Amino acid sequence: MSDGLCGCPDQEIAEAVRREGRTLVTLDVDFGNIHEYPPEHYRGLIVLRVVNQSRIHVLRVMEQILSVLDCAPLEGHPWVVSEAGIRIRSGDFSQD
């Protein structure tokens, strides 16, 4: 994170993202827990579930995201992105 949040607890990062209306792109799979981080509270949550976390590989995965960013819902719909593709959850998460 470029705002001094690197290494901070997840809850602190989540609060900053929520407060500032940002989209979080993270390798931390904990943010995929819709009970802990309800999607409707965030501008966007994108969890990268990649085996290879090298910089070049993550950048390639990010290219997948950029290719669909303008044509797929982000706000309130958590994305899980892997080498296999992008899974976008939809629906009423309050009942999950």
The region, left, alpha or beta by phi > 0 then psi within -120 to 50, assigned to residue 85 is: left
Tokens of 25: 């792109």
Strand 23-26: give its sheet, edge to edge: 23-26, 44-48, 79-82, 85-88
User: Domain residues of the chain, as ranges?
Assistant: 10-95
pTM for the full model? 0.86
**Alpha-carbon distance 24 to 37, whole Å?**
11
Residue 67 DSSP one-character state:
H
CA 19/CA 11 separation, integer angstroms = 12
Report pLDDT digits (tens) over 28-83: 999 999 999 999 999 999 999 999 999 999 999 999 899 999 999 999 999 999 98
